[in-house]
Amino acid sequence: MSSLAELREGYERFDPCAYLRNNYLPPRADFSSEEFVVPWKLRCLADTFASGEIRGQTLIDVGSGPTIYQLLSACDHFEEIVATDYLAVNREELGRWVRGDPGAFDWSPFIQHVCKIEGRGEPWQDKERRLRDRLRRILPIDVHRPDPLGAPLDPPADALLSAFCLEAVSPDRAAFARALLHVGSLLRPGGHALLLGALGESFYLAGPARLPVVPLALADVRAALAGAGLALRELRSYEMPPALRTGVDDVHGVFFAHAQKPPQGH
Ligand SMILES: C[S@@+](CC[C@H](N)C(=O)[O-])C[C@H]1O[C@@H](n2cnc3c(N)ncnc32)[C@H](O)[C@@H]1O
Ligand SMILES: O=S(=O)(c1ccc2c(c1)CN[C@@H](CF)C2)N1CCSCC1
């Protein structure tokens, strides 16, 4: 079993470029069929935001890493997007994309796919510009702290999103549940939490880093949400096809959870 110290040491070797190459370029970045993981994951988010129920001033993304795909549907429904990560190298990579620096990762295939499935005929450049305009803060975070940002978010977020973070930074299921409780404190009463994550994964590679992951089942996700006082609205899962098991990790599936913090006084 890993420890927090081992995890922190592992993340000091995390290479954002290798991580992006492993997960966000072909074969995993395959948009050709709804059966592949990218369309499934982006559709989960697009469908959830399409209702219009989840909206407000601020959405916080916990453990953003060097990626922005997870924010493409959200950015139409919040005035401000706050990205967060533990590593400066990831916050710097996000900053390069926001500024449109040369050499920043090209997310255009993901932006084009989201515009296609949202079905409004929106030019992908418009969505790219809107996310760049609304992604205004990129903050350090540690989900193992009761106050993950070091100070309360004022005002609390109207929505929280987190993708492939909590299980990838927790040594065991109890730590995963505690981390969810900690980040839940960033959310206002009545706010929505959207979680994407790995099922049955025990490790992943990011260049010289080999990171331990706590292998989760759907029951563990349910239990952690309940323990964090978040009422489950929807829980979906996807089985990773053999073609997408490329050796960069041993992920078996992906989950998508939509939960809600009870309104004040409940
Ligand atoms: C597997 S990556 C997920 C990145 C991105 N959200 C995605 O969907 O691909 C996990 C992220 O958690 C970050 N991380 C590591 N330790 C953390 C901690 N204690 N608190 C918050 N984030 C942490 C890492 O820097 C990394 O960017
Ligand atoms: O599901 S993915 O293949 C994916 C995306 C990210 C990750 C994994 C899998 C599994 N290992 C995680 C380590 F924490 C990170 N995917 C990559 C293309 S876009 C949709 C998400």
Mean pLDDT of the chain: 96
The CB of 71 under 6 Å from ligand 1? The reply is no
Has residue 216 got a pLDDT over 90?
yes
Q: Give pLDDT, residue 34.
A: 82
Q: Are strands 203-206 and 209-212 parallel, antiparallel or unpaired?
A: antiparallel
pLDDT in tens, 143-190: 999 999 999 899 999 999 999 999 999 999 999 999 999 999 999 999
For the stretch 6-47, pLDDT in tens is 899 999 999 999 999 999 999 999 999 888 889 999 999 999
**Residue whose CB lies within 8 A of the most ligand 2 atoms, among 14, 19, 23, for a mutation test:** 23
- Per 3-state DSSP, the chain is made up of helix, strand and coil in percentages (nearest 5) of 35, 25, 40
Give the ipTM of the model, two decimals please: 0.97
164 within ligand 2 shell (Cβ under 6 A): yes
CATH homologous superfamily of 4-260 equals Vaccinia Virus protein VP39 (3.40.50.150)
d(CA 97, CA 103): 9
> Is the CB of 249 inside a 6 Å radius of any atom of ligand 2?
yes
Q: If you average pLDDT over residues 242-249, what whole number do you get? A: 92
- Per the annotation, where are the binding residues for S-adenosyl-L-methionine? 19, 24, 63-64, 69, 85, 90, 142-143
Is residue 1's pLDDT more than 70?
no
pLDDT at 198: 98
C-alpha closest to that of 148 among 179, 172, 174: 179
In this model, does residue 108 exceed pLDDT 80? yes
Residue ranges of domains in the chain: 4-260
* Distance between CA atoms of residues 47 and 75, nearest Å: 14
Rounded CA-CA distance 134/137 in Å is 9
Asked if residue 72 has pLDDT above 90, the reply is: yes
Predicted local confidence at residue 148, as pLDDT: 98
Any ligand 2 atom below 6 A from CB of 94: no
With cut-offs at 50, 70 and 90, classify the pLDDT of residue 57: very high
At 264, is the pLDDT very low, low, confident or very high (cuts 50, 70, 90)? confident
Residue 138: helix, strand or coil by DSSP? strand
